[in-house]
Amino acid sequence: MTINNKPIFVTQPALPPLDEFVDLLKGVWDSKWLTNNGPLHQKLESELANYLGVKYISLFSNGTLALISALQALNIQGEVITTPFSFVATSHSLWWNKITPVFVDIEPDYLNLDPAKIEAAITPRTTAIMPVHVYGNPCKMDEIQQIADKHGLKVIYDAAHSFAVKKDDKSILNNGDLSILSFHATKLYSTIEGGAIICHSKEMKHHIDNLKNFGFRGELVVEEPGINAKMNEIQAAYGLLQLKYIDGFINKRKEITEQYRGLLSNIDGIRFLSDMDGVSHGYSYFPILVDKSVYGISRDDLYLKLKENSIFARRYFYPLISNFEPYCNLPSAKTDNLRNATNASNQVLCLPIYVELSTSDIERIVNIIKLK
Ligand code: T4K
């Protein structure tokens, strides 16, 4: 019997056909317009707004700069309530703005910030809430907005995982004051590196567009200390092609998700997240939670077992952000405050999911999980 040792990574980008990319690049070469709000950038903004069902979108060179700039755009200061169960960029964007993150625990079902625990964390210094739609599963947005309205707080959604996610047929990106997306190579929709801010008014879009271009308004006036966070034409070209194929990508990921769910449904101690009512998902990630007391071995043992077999699942999000050096001494970082997040972080494993993952790849992964 031959052992299949082809490495399988947690994800793999779905690249557009190279000849189509080269055709678009020829246009860029002819025009010699490479960045600074070029024609492809403008086209992508308008096509994305249309596809996503949002009014105003500003493209960025990556999601982290989009987050940092979103906080700048709203002049957020003091303390911001956020989740420790996310990629570290969520809190880093606060740190770069000299804002103190205040970590609040997550709810155990979908692993998003728990609205029931937010109010207890509000202090006179709190100015905003920054939740994350983790793995693209929408937060309890109505409850979060009610709390924000009651206390006069802004809401900025880190929607890095939430491309194309809709609730009751409406984009979830229209919630809160601002939402940010990441278009990194590892994401469902990619511009290689890239990101965006979604806002609700023309004035705010102008403000954000100036912020990502050093704060310039026109040629000679600098209104504020902006940054350089512009998406270039090569990224935009790639993004335009991705958009042509995105529905196929989502369908394929949905199929893979359903195959995993079918094959994993009878393994005691392995839990996966189901689709949410009224939500159309992007199927960005396929996280499982490993309960050692039932399954028999720990999440880390399963991670290593898969790795021995050249399957590179990832522990998104372990360690918790609150356990990293820049944040671990904050009062809100104490484990007692973050019980659900700590449990999820110790149990979660994101299994490979990407367009070219085959049925036999999925069976190979699940067989290892079954055998332990
Ligand atoms: N907020 C949230 C909630 C986020 O999850 C993220 C990013 C952000 C904000 C910030 O957005 P960006 O500034 O990144 O736009 C990855 C990504 O780099 C990161 O974008 C993502 N979240 C995070 C969850 O995952 P790593 O360090 O795990 O990626 P890496 O390089 O280990 O790649 C994972 C696997 O993907 C590799 O083992 C192989 C495959 N891969 C990767 C790349 C880069 C490829 O096949 N091709 C590639 O080009 O962080």
Which pLDDT score is estimated for 3? 60
Q: How far apart are the first and last CA of the chain?
A: 20
Which pLDDT score is estimated for 135? 98
Any ligand 1 atom below 6 A from CB of 101: no
Residue whose CA is at the smallest distance from ligand 1 atom 20: 184
Determine the residue of 180, 184, 324, 345 to mutate for testing ligand 1's pocket, defined as the one with the most ligand atoms within 8 A of the Cβ atom: 184
Any ligand 1 atom below 6 A from CB of 186: yes
Give, for all 372 residues of the chain, the pLDDT tens digit.
446 789 999 999 999 999 999 999 999 999 999 999 999 999 999 999 999 999 999 999 999 999 999 999 999 999 999 999 999 999 999 999 999 999 999 999 999 999 999 999 999 999 999 999 999 999 999 999 999 999 999 999 999 999 999 999 999 999 999 999 999 999 999 999 999 999 999 999 999 999 999 999 989 999 999 999 999 999 999 999 999 999 999 999 999 999 999 999 999 999 999 999 999 999 999 999 999 999 999 999 999 999 999 999 999 999 999 999 999 999 999 999 999 999 999 999 999 999 999 999 999 999 999 997
Which pLDDT score is estimated for 162? 98
Question: Rounded to the nearest whole angstrom, what is the distance from the C-alpha of residue 150 to the centroid of ligand 1?
Answer: 36
The answer to whether residues 154 and 128 touch, using CB atoms and an 8 Å cutoff, is yes
Which pLDDT score is estimated for 271? 97
Please give the helix or strand (H or E) that residue 190 lies within, else none: none
Say what the pTM is. 0.98
Q: Coil, strand, or helix at residue 349?
A: strand
Cα gap 242→332, rounded to integer Å? 40
Any ligand 1 atom below 6 A from CB of 184: yes
Which pLDDT score is estimated for 33? 98
Question: Rounded to the nearest whole angstrom, what is the distance from the C-alpha of residue 31 to the centroid of ligand 1?
Answer: 32
The answer to whether residues 287 and 276 touch, using CB atoms and an 8 Å cutoff, is no
Size of the chain, expressed as the number of residues it contains: 372
Q: Where are the beta strands (DSSP E) in the chain?
A: 8-9, 56-60, 79-82, 100-103, 126-130, 154-158, 166-167, 170-171, 178-182, 195-199, 216-217, 221-222, 270-272, 279-280, 286-290, 311-312, 348-351
Residue whose CA is at the smallest distance from ligand 1 atom 50: 186
Residue whose CA is at the smallest distance from ligand 1 atom 22: 87
Any ligand 1 atom below 6 A from CB of 13: yes
Which pLDDT score is estimated for 372? 78
Task: Give the alpha-carbon dihedral of 184, 277, 249, 362, to 10 degrees.
Answer: 100
Q: 325 Cβ partners below 8 Å, 6+ apart? A: none
Any ligand 1 atom below 6 A from CB of 63: yes
Any ligand 1 atom below 6 A from CB of 87: yes
Q: Which atom of ligand 1 is nearest to the CA of 67?
A: 9
Which pLDDT score is estimated for 222? 96
Any ligand 1 atom below 6 A from CB of 9: yes
Cα gap 212→234, rounded to integer Å? 18
Residue whose CA is at the smallest distance from ligand 1 atom 17: 186
